[in-house]
Structure 1
Amino acid sequence: MSDEPDNLVLVFLRRIDAKVDALAFEVRELKDRVSAVELGLAAVRREIAGLAEADARLQISFDRMRDDIGRIQRRLDLHEEPAV
Structure 2
Amino acid sequence: MATEPDNLVLSLLRKIDQRTERMAEDLQDLKVRVTSVEEGLAGVNRRLDRIEGRVDRIERRLEIADVH
**TM-score scaled by structure 2?**
0.89
Mapping for residues 8-47 of structure 1, pairs under 5 Å:
8-47=8-47
Counterpart secondary structure, 1:41: helix
Cα displacement (A) at 1:26: 0.3
Which runs of 5 or more residues in structure 2 are unaligned? 64-68
Cα displacement (A) at 1:32: 0.5
Give 4+ residue runs of structure 1 displaced > 2 Å after superposition: none
Alignment RMSD: 1.2
Q: Which has the larger radius of gyration?
A: 1
Summarize deviations over 1:31-70 as a string: whole Å, max 9, x none: 110110011001001100000000001111111xxxxxxx
CA distance in 1, matches of 2:46, 2:57: 17
Identity %: 40
Letter of the aligned partner of 2:61 in structure 1? S
Letter of the aligned partner of 1:34 in structure 2? V
> Matched residue pairs, number?
64
Q: Identify the structure with bigger relative contact order (alpha carbons < 8 Å, sequence gap 6+).
A: 2
Q: Which residue of 1 aligns with 2:66?
A: none
Letter of the aligned partner of 1:30 in structure 2? L
Which runs of 5 or more residues in structure 1 are unaligned? 64-84
CA distance in 1, matches of 2:59, 2:16: 63
